[in-house]
Structure 1
């Protein structure tokens, strides 16, 4: 395989094989899947997910997805389980065991031990009639016709199918719990994703200076205020009322007119209808307004009037943009 065409054909063949298996999963879902979801939803304990080899890696990903969407889950490696880690399993926990064949030695040792604890066992396997399939309380069938590996050895299609079944479980549980974006934000407080869900304009403007002049301020005062606050603009406020905004661009345009700058005041060059946003609005809403009007800053307002300035650099810094 030494040409670009050959490489692309192998890649496309892999995608075709795996996508066909995923499509076939729709037909393999039955009442056992719904019963398994309902049992997890009503169980008082956690979800313990176990597997061996590549299935263990898939188990870890499903655990992460469940935890982030409101279903407490713990990973337990099948090999470690029979050497002490069985202590992870508590009385009301539900155990999900992932295995393509359902007949690996570790699974054959582990499954009877789980059954002895009287925990409900959910199997994700490609073989219903395997040891795991026969012993499980609920079998989530993930059949495949072939692995994408040409030797039929490396777990590829089978692990993709397992992952999709796990995602389907997590999303069904999310829907049953009525899990909202606010819940998601509580579990994802860090990073850009969480900030999009909980960061408000108020928190951004608190980090900035609060430039301000009056409509009678001289041009010199305006320039000094803009320079000192380093936001590329200043806000015009009279008697606690927002009157306008002056940006670097307004100053450049004014200078190009050739007017006598000594007699000019803020009122002569300000924009009287600045774009504003409520200080209590989400930061992501500030991004949307900036994009809609093609501006790089917004005047934040609250019940007391002018509250501060949110700049495009604030959004970039926080990963919102």
Structure 2
């Protein structure tokens, strides 16, 4: 086995900290300059590219090799999440059956800085046979890929930010920016809305932010609901629910219209005043009349903003007529944010038995 020789860290030719930071800033500066120049060079060919994508009746098939392929996967994901069906086709795998992913009505978005990448060029005869139009993001219209494409978005000759001028960096940054521009301009033209975005992003923090309140609230059947004519004591006894109860009781009339809200804070104030007789008075004397509500159909982001800004713990949800349909509880919101993580409680060794009466062994409480 050949030993791998490594230079000791003490002997390594390392840059001092200020120079490392300066080198990182220079990489970002070079890439930023390249993007600015590219943005100023965009012309009619970009509008033509958008028209091609807008007329796409199928999917946008994104392809590229190496680092360009990795950028292509991100562009395909962005297109798909903003309303344009899209998927990535690995050019090498295309010749082992994946060409079957291309169908009539598709458009191929081809990424290659040189325009001469062998695996990508091999796709051209098949795409020509299929009659699939090509939109190319490449350096020059005069490259092999550039000449074969229906529309070319030329990047020009870019200097890589790599100190050796070799590792794809500026070029892949430029490809990513052009891909984002295509996807976002296309979605804007098509009137892509927050509701559409939410449909494609149901999971994670983003999904919760875009979710409708009725998707996250406690439905009415799981809420504490009572009549304003009932006494505080009657309500406390009658409105128990299994599991963790909400910190508020919604008070509705015979038609289900929300009349008020009685919270745990309202109850605490009565107890702090030592006014126990108040427990047998109608809750209407102590409830919050015309409480702040949110309508069904609103976004959870709106509900969270109200909870945070008004420092509420509960927010009733009503329909257009003002009928109570549910409740957003801040503890439910927090639980969803952090996830339902159950921390296992470590088991403590059993304590020795304690004899209380002759013949009886009773273990001490944990």
Same fold (TM over 0.5): yes
Tell me the distance in 1 between the aligned counterparts of 2:15 and 2:327: 57
> Are 1:151 and 2:151 matched, yes or no?
no
Tell me whether 191-200 or 159-168 shows the greater mean CA deviation. Answer: 191-200
Tell me the distance in 2 between the aligned counterparts of 1:173 and 1:202: 29
Contact 1:28 1:143 in 2 (8 A): no
Stretches of structure 2 that go unaligned for 5 or more consecutive residues are 1-13, 339-366
> Are 1:269 and 2:286 matched, yes or no?
yes
Contact 2:247 2:313 in 1 (8 A): no
Tell me whether 159-168 or 42-51 shows the greater mean CA deviation. Answer: 42-51
Match of 1:97 in 2: 110
Match of 1:299 in 2: 316
Contact 1:219 1:261 in 2 (8 A): no
Q: Deviations along 1:174-193, whole A, 9 cap, x unmatched?
A: 13322222332333333443
Tell me the distance in 1 between the aligned counterparts of 2:337 and 2:88: 31
Match of 1:254 in 2: 270
Contact 1:46 1:93 in 2 (8 A): yes
Q: CA deviation at 1:239?
A: 4.5
Tell me the distance in 1 between the aligned counterparts of 2:119 and 2:144: 11
Contact 1:21 1:144 in 2 (8 A): no
TM-score norm. by structure 2 comes to: 0.77
Contact 2:315 2:327 in 1 (8 A): yes
Stretches of structure 1 that go unaligned for 5 or more consecutive residues are none
> Are 1:14 and 2:32 matched, yes or no?
no
Contact 2:110 2:136 in 1 (8 A): yes
TM-score norm. by structure 1 comes to: 0.86
> Are 1:88 and 2:88 matched, yes or no?
no
> Are 1:313 and 2:328 matched, yes or no?
no
Distance 1:59 1:260, change over 3 A: closer
Tell me the distance in 2 between the aligned counterparts of 1:306 and 1:63: 43
Distance 1:15 1:226, change over 3 A: farther
Contact 1:32 1:140 in 2 (8 A): yes
Distance 1:267 1:147, change over 3 A: same
Q: CA deviation at 1:165?
A: 0.8
Q: CA deviation at 1:151?
A: 1.3
Contact 1:48 1:96 in 2 (8 A): yes
Kindly report the root-mean-square deviation, in angstroms, between the aligned alpha carbons of the 2 structures: 2.9
Match of 1:230 in 2: 245
Tell me the distance in 2 between the aligned counterparts of 1:120 and 1:70: 20
SS at match of 1:139: strand
Contact 1:300 1:310 in 2 (8 A): yes
Tell me whether 91-100 or 238-247 shows the greater mean CA deviation. Answer: 238-247
Of 17, 32, 49, which aligns to 1:4?
17
Per chain length, whose mean CA-contact separation is higher, i.e. which structure has more relative contact order (CA < 8 Å, sep 6+)?
A: 1
Count of aligned residue pairs for this structure pair? 321
Distance 1:238 1:67, change over 3 A: closer
Tell me the distance in 2 between the aligned counterparts of 1:200 and 1:297: 13
Q: Considering only CA atoms, is the larger Rg found in Structure 1 or Structure 2? A: 2
Match of 2:202 in 1: 189
> Are 1:114 and 2:115 matched, yes or no?
no
Q: Deviations along 1:122-160, whole A, 9 cap, x unmatched?
A: 211123432222332221112354212111121111111
Could you say which structure has the higher helix fraction?
Answer: 1
